[in-house]
Structure 1
Amino acid sequence: MGQTDSYGNAISTGSAAACAAYDRGVHLFLGANLGAVGAFEEAVGHDPAFALGHAALARARMMGGDMAGAKAAIGRARALDADTREGSHIAAIGLLLDGKAFEARTAVKAHVRDHPLDALVAQLCSNVFGLIGFSGEVGREAELLAYTGSLLPHYGDDWWMMSMHALSLCETGQIDASMALMEKSLALNPRNANASHFKAHAQYEAGETGAGRAYLADWLKEYDDRGVMHGHLSWHVALWALHAGDEAAMWDALDSRIGPGAARGLPINVLTDTAALLYRAELAGFSVAPERWQQLSDYAAQYFPQTGQSFADMHAALSHAMAGQTDRLARIAEEAKGFAGDLVRPVAQAWGAIARHDWTGALEELTQVMGSTERLGGSRAQRDLLELTYANVLMKLGHPNEACRSLQTRRQVLAASPPLAGFA
């Protein structure tokens, strides 16, 4: 006899133990907590023919950076007989693992129309690092809001979906509504790492530097440093330390929890968080040792040898430019492909111009992308790297008033006291 998961979906295992382990894994995964891989391994151990258990294991291994293990697990899921819903579920995750992002996004949207409570599939499109967030399309923030808004009524008082919709509200400027929903989510599950992360975004957008830094530093005390979000949450703490002028705390966070050799998260987070923090530190007037850029350039070359992930490519190009690795930079500037490759190319050229102190050239390149930076991916907080860079280039060219106007009209939260050396 089949079982029913915690979201009310019928699942094709007759093992109550497999179902219980599967549910535990789903909740750990949705909360970005350690242990999902082990729970899903336990589920398929109880029932080796449990197709969804193998698919969930594939997704959890993927988020743990184990791509070989993920592909092996999705292969086993595909080989097992599955009903219509489970077959559609497995197909969506399989398309993602096959690198077919557009097809996966289409499949997810079709699947959740019929099965909105299939959370592991719904999750694939649900935040700024999901299939909508990395679509490279204009209006993807509004699309994400529409997506989570359409799912929210089906979930009731569910801590995971509330946290997802709260982020969508935050990224479309609805900070008060976002914070209210996030607090409701955290009250139901205080250890939801995604909700703590999204609360940090709301606090950042509200300009709550001190409160945000204190909240997240305290929350991290109980979060395993092997958790997928640990390094990125530490990046938020370090960014607030930078904004507060606390250079020692910023470097400590970078060297112990964020950068290559310290963070245990995904390479895309290690690269993008480290590159952004290093350059924002330079913009703020801190001295960055050349060895740091060289180490990061080597890391980028190792983990992202080919272009195609535009958000990573943009930060890899920054690392190569600052390290003086002109050949690596030129390859990205000339060959960038992926969901926003057409924008990565001028951004890469801009980083090269900045490294040469060619401020006029940098302005010409950045002007091409500033109207559509959302296409590059990432959150507003992450894309502030470009906003601050653009303002700094204007200042270098002797246009401080234009730099001020740019921040006031585009990122008002930064305008009053931006972390830019020499800004007045």
Structure 2
Amino acid sequence: MAAPPAPFASEPGRSRGRLYDEPPSRTRSAFRRDCDRVIHSTAFRRLKHKTQVFVYHEGDHFRTRLTHTLEVAQIARAMARQLGLDEDLTEALALAHDLGHPPFGHAGERALDLCLGPYGGFDHNAQTLRIVTLLEHRYPDFDGLNLTWETLEGIVKHNGPLIDAAGNAVGRYQCRGVPVGIADFNRTCDLELWSFASLEAQVAAVADDIAYDAHDIDDGLRAGLFAVDDLKEMPLTAGMIADIARRHPMLDDGRRGAELVRELISCLIMAVLSEAGRRIAGARPRSVDDVRRHSASLIAFPPEAAEAEAGIKAFLRQRMYRHPRVMRVMDEAETIVRDLFIRYRDDPAALPAEWLPEQGVNGAFDAEKARTVGNFIAGMTDRFAINEHKRLFDSTPELR
């Protein structure tokens, strides 16, 4: 059963609005409209052919960015429903959270960040913001999707504040500063980078972790990178495997793995809901602004589950992400991204006509040209990047 709307939930009727004024929808709330705009965007469709871990042609049953995103949305909505939060805003943030990822997963992001290092680097959250505020061209009166302030805030701050009260970058941005795309937009539309985001955004962020852990285990099992019994080295999954064996002693490995994934998702969701209830009861927020001003996230794993979740990530990092088979393919994928960037840098005329720099192909390769090239590559699917490399180079890695 769904909980009644909570006083600290985001309310579409009290949204801070959009950058460009629009008449309200006659049939949808402001947040439902945001959700629908993300679903109908070009960037969302491209997620179908963007890598999660395995390159798109390695098998029909492995996750892509699109299937991962849909699974995050399902988990996020389930938690939002139990907490009395706005499900549409939660879903919009879950569906949008990976729009800015380039081809080839984290390998593509590493390569693009290195190429764009002299020009501010590459950050997928900043790229998501750039997509929904600038790069989507679907409406006659504005670039981007003209999403509500609350959705933009959640896209940028779902993992927590980016700066402290003094304006200094914190967390993952402490060393390099707030990404240029976010800093530039924030001068136009203040997203209050010093504060926490809504509980809807915090739920979407935790749902991403849960989906990653469970579904990468599923994909790793399917790929034969490890076996169900290898997961016994972690206490949480060892207990689940033993319980499955007691209930279903004759189950084959495929069904054992699927049952384990279901059990893990349910366990982590219940742990987060329990911890959220405890933290919310302690903080006693009476509005979404109370949530933003609180000193810590209110949606999180409890300590024991956080330790177990970190153990799962460490297992996957060693047994899956750093598996020689995966590393070889990802190294080759990084080469493709670097080659494309260098080619477009040295020969801007190789870009499609609609992506040619406005100032022309001559002159110095400056930050504006670099960002144009970065935007073009970041929008590529795995398949398009491979085909573009084949068009421009005599030899292209097979990524198999």
Which TM-score band (shorter chain)? Answer: under 0.3
Pick 1 or 2: higher relative contact order, CA cutoff 8 A, min separation 6: 2
Relative to its length, the structure with more helix (as a share) is: 1
